């Protein structure tokens, strides 16, 4: 089902400040930056070996990321795994008894298809499944 660890998602209040921090402290450079209107976020991607770090901040007061930041502050938001087939992966997770947050995939960063598994199903970790589409 899982192909590899795709990325680690980190929620931040100020994306520009976080980018500067990651570039300065870790010596990594932004590879991609975009606004994902459907998720009400702006994201910046850093490639680190075979995986990525995804920093993102809300662009709207009603963003779920804004609610996360208000509750918990900046920090680790989710981990994401690449899958071959997002529909099959979500169905398999659901059939195994996991609480799946997405009945159907949503559009993610870079036009990926994504679906989330509730943290209650995986020991407190929000988990994203990602399929790259051509």
**pLDDT tens-digit profile of 85-127?**
999 999 999 999 999 999 999 999 988 999 999 999 999 999 9
CA diameter of the chain: 44
Quote the CA–CA distance of 78 and 56 in Å, as a whole number.
Answer: 11
**pLDDT tens-digit profile of 3-20?**
999 999 999 999 999 999
Provide the token pair at 93. 């997770």
User: Does residue 124 sit in helix, strand or coil?
Assistant: coil
Which numeric CATH code is attached to 2-131?
3.10.180.10
Provide the token pair at 70. 């208000």
Q: What angle do CA 126, 35, 104 make, to 5 degrees?
A: 45
Q: What angle do CA 57, 43, 111 make, to 5 degrees?
A: 135
pLDDT averaged over every residue in the chain: 96
Q: Check if the beta carbon of residue 41 is closer than 8 Å to that of residue 56.
A: yes
Section 21-39 average pLDDT: 96
Domain boundaries, the chain: 2-131
The answer to whether residue 34 scores a pLDDT higher than 90 is yes
């Amino acid at each position: 089902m899982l192909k590899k660890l795709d990325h680690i998602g980190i929620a931040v209040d100020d994306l520009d400040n976080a980018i500067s921090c990651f570039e300065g402290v870790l010596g990594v450079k932004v590879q991609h930056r975009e606004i994902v209107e459907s998720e009400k976020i702006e994201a910046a991607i850093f490639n680190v070996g075979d995986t990525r770090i995804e920093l993102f901040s809300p662009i709207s007061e009603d963003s779920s990321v804004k609610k996360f930041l208000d509750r918990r502050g900046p920090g680790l938001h989710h981990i994401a795994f690449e899958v071959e087939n997002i529909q099959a992966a979500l169905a398999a997770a659901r059939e195994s008894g996991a609480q799946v947050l997405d009945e159907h995939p949503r559009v993610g960063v870079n036009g990926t298809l994504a679906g989330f598994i509730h943290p209650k199903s995986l020991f407190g970790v929000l988990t994203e499944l990602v399929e790259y589409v051509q």
